[in-house]
Chain A
Amino acid sequence: MFDVALSAAGAQISFATSCDENFPPEHIIDGKDDTFWSSTGLFPQEFVVTFASLMNINTIKIECSNVRKLLIERSVQNEPDDFEPVEQKDMENSDGQWQSEEISVSNMTAVHLKFTVMAAYDHFVAVHRLHVDGNAVHG
């Protein structure tokens, strides 16, 4: 098992609804805790992480700020479409402090994961880090 949601592991951001050039969505998968993606207004906000190949996933962990309602979806297609829901989470208000949510999903496969912030505790949210523990599916 290792973190497959890192640009160093071949992961990419294939879509995001906000892009402040100083706080781009690539910051989510750069492996650093001191960088973040910030949304720039309006909800919902989304980003899609595309892995290097089809992955077997065990846990998804997201670290963010101001998120109230989060929807996670997955796709096993080559192109990021045909998403199906994985989990919907209501997160606690932490007044802008870091929120951390870990979701266990034993033996789930995905090429793409889509994260949708449906609602928030503020006008803006930040996503600091994403960890996805998994392995490439061989076969």
Chain B
Amino acid sequence: MPNSLRAKCIIVGDSCSGKSAITQVFHSDGSHFPKNYAMTTGVELVTKPVHVQDTHDAVELFIYDSAGKELFSDMVQNHWANPSMVVVVYDVTNETSFNSCAKWLERVRSQKPSVTMPSVLIANKIDLDERRVVSMKEGQDFADSNGLEYFECSAKEMQNVEQPFLYLAKTFHKLYQDRIEYFMSMT
């Protein structure tokens, strides 16, 4: 019987960067892109099991799609206790959203400062190439210096949306294996 791990995945970033679109495209296996904008107020929770490649195991992701508007900041952070992993999203056509990434990352990491959390940075809306203002290099550099894995995606084109989540599940599974080995070594 395969084992199922569980992980709390916090999605953050400025409002309108596409957190909910990414969440919904991933959750629906690419069958649903929300064409009309609906501001997230608070936190929306979806769950999805992700199979870990080359194993019989799966990681069930509890995805906390969190409002990006500062107005909801305090309320949103009440839902972040004991995070397992973090996704920081920005919009490549919006420099402000990129500049906010450090703030968002810090807020989630401060919930559990003593633990390494699998973390990714998603550069969203890469389909809007002619309006792009944040380059791949800038994104990659920020990711590298902050311990994040960098991904580019387009939720609208359903391009590369799954990859960050597969990476997170794989990394979390690896953490579990390492911990189990450590527990076994102590006996």
- The interface of chain A, by Cβ under 8 A from chain B, is 20-23, 33-36, 38, 40-43, 65, 93, 96-98, 119-124, 126, 128
Chain B 128-187 interface residues, beta-carbon cutoff 8 Å to A: 172, 175-176, 179-180, 182-183, 186-187
Q: Are B182 and A96 in touch, CB under 8 angstroms?
A: yes
| Closest A residue, CB atoms, query B180 | A38
Known: A36-B187, A123-B115, A126-B183. 13 other contacts (CB 8 A): A38-B179, A40-B5, A42-B6, A42-B7, A43-B81, A43-B82, A65-B186, A97-B186, A119-B81, A119-B82, A123-B175, A123-B176, A124-B179
Q: Are B180 and A42 in touch, CB under 8 angstroms?
A: no
Q: A41 with B176: in contact, given A34-B187, A121-B114 (CB under 8 Å)?
A: yes
> Which residues of the partner chain A approach B82 to less than 8 Å between Cβ atoms?
42-43, 119-120
Q: Are B6 and A23 in touch, CB under 8 angstroms?
A: no
29 contacts between A and B (CB under 8 A): A21-B3, A23-B180, A33-B187, A34-B187, A35-B187, A36-B183, A38-B179, A40-B3, A40-B4, A41-B5, A41-B7, A41-B84, A41-B176, A42-B84, A65-B183, A65-B186, A96-B179, A96-B183, A98-B186, A119-B81, A119-B82, A120-B82, A122-B179, A123-B7, A123-B172, A123-B175, A123-B179, A124-B180, A128-B187
Q: Are B3 and A121 in touch, CB under 8 angstroms?
A: no
Chain B nearest CB: distance from A29 CB in Å?
Answer: 16
Interface size on B, residues (CB 8 A): 23
**Residue B1, interface by CB 8 Å:** yes
Distance in angstroms between the alpha carbons of A43 and B183 in the assembled complex? 19
> Which residues of the partner chain A approach B176 to less than 8 Å between Cβ atoms?
40-41, 123-124
- The interface of chain B, by Cβ under 8 A from chain A, is 1, 3-8, 59, 62, 81-82, 84, 114-115, 172, 175-176, 179-180, 182-183, 186-187
> Which residues of the partner chain A approach B180 to less than 8 Å between Cβ atoms?
23, 38, 124
Chain B nearest CB: distance from A84 CB in Å?
Answer: 24
> Which residues of the partner chain B approach A21 to less than 8 Å between Cβ atoms?
1, 3
Distance in angstroms between the alpha carbons of A123 and B172 in the assembled complex? 9
> Which residues of the partner chain A approach B172 to less than 8 Å between Cβ atoms?
41, 123
Chain B nearest CB: distance from A71 CB in Å?
Answer: 15
Distance in angstroms between the alpha carbons of A126 and B182 in the assembled complex? 10
| Closest A residue, CB atoms, query B7 | A41
Kindly list the 8 A-B residue pairs having the minimum CB-CB distance in the complex, ordered from nearest: A41-B6, A34-B187, A43-B82, A42-B6, A126-B183, A41-B5, A40-B5, A124-B179
